[in-house]
Amino acid sequence: MAFFRPKSDPPHATPLNPMGFLRLFIGGRYIWIMSGLFLMLIIGPLVGRFELVSSHIYIGDLVIGLLLLAAVRAFIANRIHFIVCLCLGAVAIIVGVSGRFLPGEAHSTIVTIALVLDTLLLTYLILLICADIFSTREVDVDTICGSISVYLLISGVFASIYTILVTLDPAAFDIPGPPTDPDFSLGPDRLMAYFSLITITTVGYGDITPQSELARSLSNLEALIGQVFLTVLVARLVGRHLSGVGTRTSHPVEQSGL
pLDDT value for 120: 94
pLDDT, tens digit only, all 258 positions of the chain: 444 444 444 444 445 455 555 555 566 788 888 888 888 877 777 777 777 766 678 888 888 888 888 888 888 888 899 999 999 999 998 998 888 888 778 888 998 999 999 999 999 999 999 998 888 777 788 888 888 999 999 999 999 999 999 989 989 999 887 665 667 788 888 889 889 999 999 898 888 999 999 999 999 999 999 999 988 888 877 777 666 555 555 545 444 454
For the chain, domain boundaries: 27-173+183-250
Contact 184, 102 (CB under 8 A): no
Q: Residue 43: how many CB atoms within 10 A of its CB?
A: 13
Q: What pTM was computed for the model? A: 0.81
